[in-house]
Chains A and B, each alone.
Chain A
Amino acid sequence: MIALAVSSLCKSFGGLRVTVDVNLNIAPGERRLIIGPNGAGKTTLFNLITGEIAPDSGSVALFGRDITRMPSRKRTHLGMARTYQIITLFAQDTIAHNVTLALLGLSPLRWNPLTPLDRQHHLAAQGRQALERVGLAHIAARPLAQTSYGERRRVEIAMALAQNPKVLLLDEPFAGLSIDERQDVRKLLNAIPRDVTIVMIEHDMDTALDLADRITLLHFGEVIVEGTRAEVVADPRTREVYLGE
């Protein structure tokens, strides 16, 4: 069973074709890297996969189930989680609360207007676990506004992992991070078990190369090259796309 299948996906904005007949077949547990120069349509592709924008044609399937017409939140419930290029977390709240919100999103508890949230100890425990995975449990009570960019990136990943996703979509997780912070995040990503399929967008090939099993190269919305790490690196078209800029 294919974890994430994208078939003939197309999207245009006005006259601009941003996604042109994209096909992806990502196996369960695979680490897929999507690369391409700026403007290649990588984030748009993610938005189409998660349902934030609707495609003009084509389909998206999650573990065999057609989710093309499904609203984003339902896809999350089916096991899709994602991070964003620009970190949009809840800056006025603590790290712990941010994670709690992620946990709550999949819980029927989120409709409860009566019981106090801070008495939900099982949520608290799960949140603590999620933060331990990313090494931030010691500052759980810190307001997000007082954390570093690298810490926020890790909070975001903690939130995504807290939802026990089957498919994790990471949009440029290394963007804006210092060398040390990149190491932290790389260790984190490496530690994610293989029951989570990871699809990652990265602009900078070097950073993410060793995390990837297979690589898809996008340019102007089209898949140009796809294959294993070695294949893509060796392919002359890859150099063209990057050097042609």
Chain B
Amino acid sequence: MSSLAAGPTKTALSGAAVGRGVAIIVAVLALVAVPYVIGQLYYVNIASQVLLYAVFALGINVLVGYAGLVSLGHAGLFGIAAYIDAYLLSAGYGHTVAILAALVGALAATAVFAALSLRATGISFIMITLALGEIIWGLAYRWISITGGDNGISVSTRPAPFGIALDSPQAFYEATLVIFLMSIATVAIFVRSPFGAALCGTRDQPRRMNALGYHVWMIRFGACLFSGLLTAVAGILFVYYNEFISPQALALTASAEGLLMVISGGAGTLLGPVIGAALVVIVKNVVSAYITRWNFMLGAIFVAIVVFMPEGLVPGLVRLTRSAWSATGRRRTAPVPAGTQR
């Protein structure tokens, strides 16, 4: 991405940049048009799910793909945001207060999670995040006086930003789309920034980064906060989508699904988590209609991807299209299983 290449300086209007800009505009327009093209409300709802889980996956990817830190506790952060929002709403507070409190609360929890988990890297990071996620799940399940336990908390209304009601699936979809676009734009900016480059550096060579003058722990901590923020946003979208939150959403399976979205799509890429989210949500919804054994499928897909296609779909497809066009290019992706230790 550095423009040190000897040769003609690239102007902002180079062919590739224009092409990319057009593609983005077309994609956004297509996404906006989805509820009008797809008639059935059931599918519009699935589209909303895809988008909100895409935000979740983007959040996880900040850590897994760019920081090289694999977390199995993200459903806990997701759930904290959702529960705080739901709890405050049921206590009579307005949406603005509830949402803000949820974001702040989830960020605070993220800071604590990060401080604990960053005591280690690699495998131990996974273990600690798993344990922390389990604590939150256990609290949601047992602290019945606050969380309602297995009964969960219902949310009766959705927010109405600028007076626009979000009760219909189409309206909710468009609102979710706006948030999704903002989220992915934020991640794109982040990745291209110096901090993003530093983060990727700590993923690849943490010892070297330390020697080069970077504060590796602090960089990772910052990444955790960003990841937590995106996850919290997804959690809030989730609770308004379902108008309900229960401990099920915080279970280990939920964290595993999130991780699957990232690694199936391709960790360390911008679109990977989005495609992975689409894949997992669609398969889960379609499969559930025919087979009640989603967990088995989830596990099997996990195993299959890790064993046979570790770099995920997006890098795989990119590789294929690149070799089809016979162009050489610099990859900025990180294959998931190897090299994320230490």
Contacts and interface: CB of A to CB of B under 8 A. Distances in A.
A82 B213 CA distance: 11
A90 B331 contact: no
A159 B212 contact: yes
Nearest to A137: B6
Contacts, number: 126
B208 A89 contact: yes
Contact of B5 (A91, A115, A141): A141
B197 interface: yes
Contacts of B204: 90-92
B201 A90 contact: yes
Contact of B193 (A50, A89, A99, A116): A116
A101 B4 contact: no
B201 A96 contact: no
Contacts of B3: 118, 121, 124
B211 A115 contact: no
A101 B210 contact: no
A94 B205 contact: no
Contacts of A73: 210-216
A166 to B, nearest CB: 14
A112 B193 contact: yes
B212 A102 contact: yes
B208 A96 contact: no
Interface in B59-76: none
B1 interface: yes
Interface in B194-240: 194-198, 201, 204-205, 207-216, 222, 226
Given A76-B212, A110-B195, A112-B195, A140 B5 contact: yes
A39 interface: no
B193 A105 contact: no
Interface in B1-22: 1-6
A114 B207 contact: no
B213 A113 contact: no
Contacts of A141: 4-6
B142 interface: no
A205 interface: no
Contact of A111 (B195, B208, B331, B333): B195
Given A76-B212, A163-B212, A124 B195 contact: no
Interface in A86-112: 88-94, 96-97, 99-102, 104-107, 109-112
B213 A115 contact: no
A113 B210 contact: no
Contacts of A96: 2, 4-5
A50 B192 contact: no
Contact of A52 (B211, B215, B226): B211
Nearest to A120: B194
B190 interface: yes
A36 interface: no
B332 interface: yes
Interface string B118-155: 00000000000000000000000000000000000000
A88 B207 contact: yes
Interface of B: 1-6, 189-190, 192-198, 201, 204-205, 207-216, 222, 226, 330-334
